[in-house]
C-alpha cells in the first residue's frame, strides 16, 4: 500500500469532525450557502472538501459509490484505510462521489420509499466552479431566494417533483462546499 | 525493507505479542531504550469494541464469543516505516509504544529491539503460561492412582 494512501485523515478527529459536521449541517439547512472546511487530504482527484465530507459522513455502514474518474486505486485504498465504507454500485449506495457528469444517470440511485424517504442517496458532486450565482433557489431554509452555480437545472427540478422522495446533493470545489436538498425549488437564473 | 521481505508471519507474531503484553511491562522494556524516534500520526489512538469470534475445536462453525475493548493506532516514522497497533484495553500510550515497536522492527534497529523488547516480553508471556498450566496441573486428577479398595 502506498504511503500517501495512509495519510490525510483528521489530525484531531473529534474536533475537526464536529466542525465539518456543523458545516455540512448548515449547508444542507441553508441551501445555496457556501462553507469552508479543512483538515483532510485524499488522493487526486478528490477535493479537500469532498475528503472532509467522506470522513465526517461515511463509515463502514454507509455503502459508497465512486463514479468513474473517482474510482481509482489510490482513492479506493484511502477509503478502505480511513473510512472502511463498502464500495458498491450506484443502485445500492447511500453516498456517491464523483464529477457531476460522471454521476449520471441519476435515476440509477435510490430515492427512498414512501415509508422510509430517508433511505435515499446523498450525492457528493465535485464541481469546477462553485459560486453564489446562476440558478435561483427557493424553499425551506432560504430567505426569499438564493443563487448557486449548479451544473444544470432540469435534473434538480425533476428531483424536486419526486418529493418526499428524491436524493440530496452536496457540491464541493477545493475547500468549499454547498448543498441542495430535495426540498429546494430550482429555477434557471 | 518491505513488509513482504520481513514476512507476514513474523510480523503477526510480534504484533500479537505487543497486543497481549501488559501496558506496564511494555513500557518497562521500551522506555529504557531512550529517545523515541520522531513520527507522525496516520491514525491517532482510538478506542473501540471488536467482536471476538471463535470456532468450536478450531474447525467448527464460527460463533461470536464476546466483545472486547481494543485501542488501535497507526503512525509513520521520520525514516518512512509505517507501524500499526491493535492492543487490548483502552491505554493509548500502550498502543503508541506497540506501533513504534512495529515500525522500528521494519528498520535497521530490528535486532536491538528483538533483544531488548520482544525477547523479555515473550519470556514473560511464556512464564505466565507455564505458571497457569502448573496451577491447572495441580488440580488434575489421575484416575489410575485410585485404589479400588478391594484389599
Per-residue pLDDT, B148: 66
| CATH annotation of A3-187 | 3.40.50.11310
Contact list, B82 vs chain A (CB under 8 Å): 3, 6
pLDDT tens figures, B82-134:
999 999 999 999 999 999 999 999 988 888 888 889 999 999 999 999 999 99
- pLDDT top residue among B117 and B150: B117
Q: How many Cβ pairs within 8 Å bridge chains A and B?
A: 20
- In chain A, where the domains are located: 3-187
Domain count across chain B: 1
**E strand residue ranges, chain A:** 35-36, 64-66, 95-99, 122-126, 135-138, 146-148, 168-173, 176-180, 185-187
Which chain A residues touch B80 with a CB distance below 8 Å?
A: 3
Residue B151 domain-assigned (yes or no): no
* Nearest-neighbour CA in chain A from B7: distance (Å): 15
Q: How confident is the model at residue B4 (pLDDT cuts 50, 70, 90)?
A: low
- Does B141 score more than 70 pLDDT? yes
Looking at the predicted structure, is the pLDDT value of residue B5 above 90? Answer: no
- B-chain CB neighbours of A84 within 8 Å are none
Q: How far is B131 from chain A (nearest CA, A)?
A: 40
Q: Which domain holds residue B23?
A: 3-133
- The alpha-carbon gap from A142 to the nearest alpha carbon of chain B, in Å, equals 39
Of chain A residues 70-99, which have a CB less than 8 A from chain B? Answer: 81-82
CA–CA min distance B42, chain A (Å): 5
According to the model, what pLDDT value does residue B60 have?
86
Interface test with B, best of A4, A9, A17 (most B CBs within 10 A): A9
Q: Could you tell me the pTM of the whole model?
A: 0.82
Average pLDDT of the residues in B76-85: 91
| pLDDT by 10s per residue, chain A, length 189 | 455 788 888 888 889 999 999 999 999 999 999 999 999 999 989 999 999 999 999 999 999 999 999 999 999 999 999 999 999 999 999 999 999 999 989 999 999 999 999 999 999 999 999 999 999 999 999 999 999 999 999 999 999 999 899 999 999 999 999 999 999 999 987
pLDDT for position B149: 67
Residue B150 lies in a domain: no
pLDDT range class, residue B1, cuts 50, 70, 90: very low
Amino acid at each position: 500500500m502506498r504511503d500517501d494512501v495512509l495519510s490525510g485523515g483528521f489530525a484531531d478527529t473529534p474536533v475537526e469532525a464536529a466542525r465539518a459536521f456543523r458545516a455540512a449541517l448548515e449547508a444542507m439547512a441553508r441551501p445555496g450557502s457556501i462553507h469552508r472546511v479543512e483538515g483532510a487530504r485524499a488522493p487526486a482527484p478528490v477535493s479537500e472538501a469532498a475528503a472532509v465530507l467522506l470522513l465526517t459522513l461515511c463509515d463502514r455502514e454507509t455503502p459508497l459509490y465512486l463514479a468513474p474518474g473517482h474510482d481509482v486505486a489510490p482513492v479506493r485504498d484511502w477509503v478502505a484505510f480511513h473510512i472502511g465504507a463498502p464500495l458498491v454500485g450506484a443502485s445500492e449506495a447511500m453516498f456517491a462521489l464523483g464529477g457531476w457528469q460522471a454521476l449520471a444517470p441519476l435515476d440509477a440511485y435510490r430515492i427512498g420509499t414512501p415509508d422510509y424517504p430517508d433511505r435515499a442517496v446523498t450525492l457528493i458532486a465535485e464541481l469546477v466552479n462553485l459560486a453564489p450565482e446562476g440558478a435561483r433557489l427557493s424553499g425551506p431554509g432560504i430567505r426569499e431566494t438564493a443563487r448557486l452555480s449548479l451544473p444544470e437545472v432540469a435534473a434538480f427540478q425533476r428531483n424536486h417533483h419526486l418529493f418526499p422522495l428524491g436524493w440530496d446533493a452536496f457540491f464541493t470545489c477545493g475547500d468549499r462546499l454547498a448543498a441542495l436538498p430535495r426540498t429546494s425549488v430550482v429555477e434557471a437564473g | 525493507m518491505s513488509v513482504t521481505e520481513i514476512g507476514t508471519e513474523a510480523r503477526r507474531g510480534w504484533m500479537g505479542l505487543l497486543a497481549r503484553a501488559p501496558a506496564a511491562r511494555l513500557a518497562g522494556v521500551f522506555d529504557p531504550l531512550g529517545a523515541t524516534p520522531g513520527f507522525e500520526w496516520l491514525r491517532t489512538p482510538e478506542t473501540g469494541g471488536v467482536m471476538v469470534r471463535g470456532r468450536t475445536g478450531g474447525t467448527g462453525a464460527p460463533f461470536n464469543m464476546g466483545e472486547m475493548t481494543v485501542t488501535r493506532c497507526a503512525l509513520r516514522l521520520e525514516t518512512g516505516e509505517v507501524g500499526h497497533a491493535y492492543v487490548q484495553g483502552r491505554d493509548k500510550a500502550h498502543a503508541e509504544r506497540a506501533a513504534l515497536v512495529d515500525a522500528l522492527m521494519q528498520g535497521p534497529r530490528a535486532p536491538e529491539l528483538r533483544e531488548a523488547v520482544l525477547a523479555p516480553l515473550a519470556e514473560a508471556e511464556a512464564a505466565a503460561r507455564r505458571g497457569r498450566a502448573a496451577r491447572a496441573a495441580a488440580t488434575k486428577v489421575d484416575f489410575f492412582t485410585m485404589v479400588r479398595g478391594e484389599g
